[in-house]
């Protein structure tokens, strides 16, 4: 159970329950960076698998924000074998959108209908789109189009959107929303106790809770690596820098402390949206980066390398990508 998120978990679980009964559902989860959107999405994935749903993920990535249909391709790639069953106009539009064959710019209405058909055939299905503020405009428009039209297909679509984001999320306007607020003081203290093993004076604990302003990631990350003596004096004044920016700055500092090849490996991972480890290592080989470069990045708690490459949090990806030089990008 996530700390302080019972009501939010119940809302997401209710979507799945309704879909089991034959109704589709859509929800846009909004909140500032670190507020717990990704943790809620992970809870929903686990719940969906437990009740027999398929789960398909996509994520907006800053490096692909200018590539039309990039985000949509992430979501639909596993279902493309079924595209041959679509009506010819939809099949042609989708084929052009995904570069499967040549043609004029596809009609987004037809692309949307094609995606709706593919997802409906795959039900019961949970579609999770994290960091939706980084989706390319074409993908955002098509996915919002599909979200407004799912009905009895047993498809649940959940979008996580960072507020305030680089876009205003206009494509998703009018869809049902769940806005995440910070944790209350009691829940914040409970979460902080899991991050700081050293005994905390009540005054110090209350100062950290105040500075984190209920942001779960801040409660977990701001004390990380701080000397025990620093707990006696607190951190920065609460209003000096926004909480998400402070967290991102902390991730950037940890990345910048790594050896050069480990830093470059992080940039490669940040630019590759699917977490395909084989693809990452092929790209790393082109740059002369040895596999040993992964060890410092993992030890710093920034990402994990396995069959998939997973960042500690989406904010790590954006922090690494933004901190990279234009040449490295």
Domain regions of the chain by residue span: 6-179, 185-239, 253-323
Find the mean pLDDT for residues 281-291.
94
Residue 284 CA to residue 290 CA, distance in Å, equals 7
Residue 295 CA to residue 262 CA, distance in Å, equals 8
Decide which of 197 and 166 is more confident. Answer: 197
Q: What is the pLDDT of residue 89?
A: 93
Q: What is the pLDDT of residue 243?
A: 66
Residue 238, pLDDT > 50, answer no
Q: What is the pLDDT of residue 235?
A: 47
239 pLDDT band, cuts 50/70/90, is very low
Residue 191, pLDDT > 60, answer yes
pTM (two decimals):
0.75
3-class SS letters over 118-176: HHHHHCCEEEEEECHHHCCHHHHHHHHHHHCCCCCCCEEEEEEEECCCCCCCHHHCCCC
Find the mean pLDDT for residues 125-137.
93
- The average confidence (pLDDT) of the chain is 85
Residue 289, pLDDT > 60, answer yes
Residue 125 CA to residue 6 CA, distance in Å, equals 23
224 pLDDT band, cuts 50/70/90, is low
Find the mean pLDDT for residues 17-23.
88
Q: Left if phi > 0, otherwise alpha if psi is -120 to 50, otherwise beta: which for 293?
A: alpha
Of residues 303, 214, 305, the one with CA closest to residue 254: 303
256 pLDDT band, cuts 50/70/90, is confident
Q: What is the pLDDT of residue 148?
A: 93
Find the mean pLDDT for residues 63-84.
90
- Class of 6-179 in CATH: alpha beta
């Amino acid at each position: 159970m996530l700390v302080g998120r019972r009501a939010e978990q119940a809302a997401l679980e209710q979507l799945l329950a309704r879909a089991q009964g034959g109704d589709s559902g859509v929800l846009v989860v909004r909140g500032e960076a670190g507020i717990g959107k990704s943790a809620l999405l992970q809870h929903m994935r686990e719940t969906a698998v437990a009740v027999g749903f398929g789960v398909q993920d996509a994520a907006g990535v800053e490096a692909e924000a200018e590539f039309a249909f990039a985000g949509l391709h992430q979501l639909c790639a596993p279902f493309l074998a079924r595209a041959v069953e679509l009506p010819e106009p939809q099949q042609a539009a989708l084929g052009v959108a995904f570069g499967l064959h040549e043609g004029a710019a596809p009609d987004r209405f037809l692309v949307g209908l094609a995606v709706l058909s593919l997802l409906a055939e795959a039900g019961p299905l949970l579609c999770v789109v994290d960091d939706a503020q980084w989706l390319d405009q074409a993908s955002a428009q098509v996915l919002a189009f599909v979200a407004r039209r799912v009905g009895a297909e047993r498809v649940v679509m959940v979008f996580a959107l960072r507020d305030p984001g680089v876009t205003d999320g206009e494509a998703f306007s009018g869809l049902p929303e769940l806005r995440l607020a910070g944790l209350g003081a009691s829940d914040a203290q409970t979460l902080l106790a899991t991050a700081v093993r050293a005994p905390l004076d009540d005054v110090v604990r209350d100062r950290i809770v105040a500075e984190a302003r209920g942001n779960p990631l801040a409660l977990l990350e701001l004390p990380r690596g701080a000397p025990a003596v620093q707990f006696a004096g607190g951190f920065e004044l609460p209003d000096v820098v926004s909480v998400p920016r402070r967290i991102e700055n902390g991730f950037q500092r940890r990345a910048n402390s790594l050896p050069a090849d480990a830093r470059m490996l992080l940039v490669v991972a940040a630019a590759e949206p699917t977490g395909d480890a084989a693809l990452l290592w092929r790209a790393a080989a082109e740059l002369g980066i040895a596999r040993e470069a992964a060890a410092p990045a993992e030890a710093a708690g920034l990402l994990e390398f396995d069959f998939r490459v997973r960042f500690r949090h989406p904010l790590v990806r954006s922090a690494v990508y933004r901190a990279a030089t234009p040449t490295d990008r």
